[in-house]
Amino acid sequence: MDAWLLITIAIGFWMAWNIGANDVANSMGTAVGAKAITPRQAAVIAGVMNFIGAYFFGKSVTDTIRKGILDVNMIHDPMVIVYGSLAALLAASLWLIFATYNGLPVSTTHSIIGGVVGYGLVYAGTGIVDWGKLGQVVLSWILSPILGAIVAFLVFRAVRRSILARDDPIKSARHWAPFWTGLAFVVIGTMFYIKVLHGSNLAKGVFFYGIPSGVAVFLLTYALIRVKFRPSDPYLGVESIFRKVQVVTSAYVALAHGSNDVANAVGPIAAVYAVVTMGLSGMEVPVPRWILALGGLGIAVGIFTYGYKVMETVGKKITELTNTRGFSIDFSAATVILVASWLGMPISTTHTVVGAVVGVGLARGVKAINTSILRDIIISWFVTVPVAGLISAVIFKALMLAG
């Protein structure tokens, strides 16, 4: 096997490890923070679900020039793809390990985009970059957390008003908990079709996946409440219902995460693989199944070994979470991501989830938010692309000179 491919595989695996270590908070941070599951249980569930998502549902074709940020027609030397892919992976990985060490949830997609832009600028100047696409990435920094916060604020207020604030929470929970859980799974079922199966017909997703999932969960929740829901403390009883649902929603987010974000690690590997095996590269490169497995394994290992750092930030340090709050966050983030995907809006899962956590906190007042940790997170978001780009540019220049 070509030495450059072996090096890229090794660094790509490290990138996948970093994705698992940082992005696991998207799926499991709220469940751990709300004490629905322990960190160890979260690592096992997220690791397994991410691997399944990556291996079985990871895109068989992935963008080599991530998200079309670079004009591939301006790259004539295949080794530029090799050096650039290495530089982008290394830069993104170095930034992610720094962010994870400091417990900062950042976008892995934005990290790899920054790496791609960095080597592109060094190689061909500003003309190779699609600044409109990059502008969409910048826009997602703003849109994602704001939309996540607004929807989560409204959802939690609605859940609280319909159940927790009533004179008889048990009676209200029996009526409303099946509705909320069923509605959540309408969104999750539809998202499974669009984000995991990579479907494009929203109506098909809603009617063939979303509504059947929602109805099934509605009936199941309704039946379980009638049989088992007799707690001495009505509020603990309400939280126990949403605790079980939150574990399932978190597991789904992990599945979707593995199927989508594995491309951030295996896309560059696929590009180098194409150059080495076929002597060419294009915008679309077939990804061998073993590369998807490698990415899924790397994500799972990252979750097991270092995922707790960012999980703690999202689940515990921004605001105090309960199961109803955690459910509201998961439901809201899934809804925002689904609608944004359908509309073609730029969105970041990481930013959306953090925004939703803030929105739920704001439903109890500004004092419920840890503003200092939130400030550090926002700063890390805005420096992700330029920092990854600068590191990538330096590495790429060094590789070109050495080559």
- Determine the pLDDT at residue 140: 84
The owner of tokens 């963008």 is: 63
- 364's enclosing H/E stretch is none
- Determine the pLDDT at residue 228: 63
> What is d(CA 59, CA 76) in angstroms, rounded to the nearest whole number?
26
> What is d(CA 316, CA 318) in angstroms, rounded to the nearest whole number?
6
Average pLDDT per block of 10 residues along the chain, 403 residues long: 86 95 83 90 90 83 65 86 93 97 92 94 95 87 92 94 85 86 92 83 93 94 71 73 84 82 84 76 67 91 92 92 92 87 78 94 91 95 96 97 84
Which pTM was predicted?
0.89
- Determine the pLDDT at residue 236: 78
Contact 294, 16 (CB under 8 A): yes
Q: Token digits for 80? A: 């530029």
- Determine the pLDDT at residue 222: 84
Contact 189, 210 (CB under 8 A): yes
> What is d(CA 156, CA 76) in angstroms, rounded to the nearest whole number?
53
> What is d(CA 106, CA 349) in angstroms, rounded to the nearest whole number?
10
**24 vs 2, 147, 250, CA distance in Å?**
32, 21, 10
Question: Which residues touch 87 (CB under 8 Å, ≥6 apart)?
Answer: 115, 118, 119, 392, 393, 395, 396, 399
- Determine the pLDDT at residue 376: 96
Contact 225, 173 (CB under 8 A): yes
> What is d(CA 382, CA 146) in angstroms, rounded to the nearest whole number?
15
- Determine the pLDDT at residue 370: 95
- 286's enclosing H/E stretch is strand 284-286
- Determine the pLDDT at residue 255: 84
- Determine the pLDDT at residue 104: 94
Domain extents for the chain?
Answer: 3-402
Query: DSSP state, 208?
Result: I
